[in-house]
């Protein structure tokens, strides 16, 4: 069995506008992969408001 090698460095969290929606990439530290969410602009606004409320 070969040695496990990391697939690459973790990227920072990012959100980009793609087409008519927003794509959010959240790095998952232990798995060296990312959770990718594709949201509408309205859903992204709701998520932002919920995160601001939770962090206060």
- The model's pTM is 0.68
> For residues 5, 7, 8 and 12, what is the CA-based torsion angle, rounded to 10 degrees?
-130
Residue 1 pLDDT > 60: no
Contacts of 14 (CB under 8 A, 6+ apart): 24, 25
Model confidence pLDDT, tens digit, residues 6-37: 555 557 889 999 999 999 998 887 767 889 99
Residue 49 pLDDT > 60: yes
pLDDT band at 5; cut points 50, 70, 90: very low
């Amino acid at each position: 069995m070969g040695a496990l090698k990391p697939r690459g460095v973790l990227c920072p969290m990012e959100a980009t506008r793609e087409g008519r929606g927003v794509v959010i990439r959240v790095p998952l530290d232990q798995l060296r992969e990312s959770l990718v969410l594709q949201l509408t602009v309205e859903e992204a606004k709701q998520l932002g408001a919920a995160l601001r409320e939770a962090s206060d």
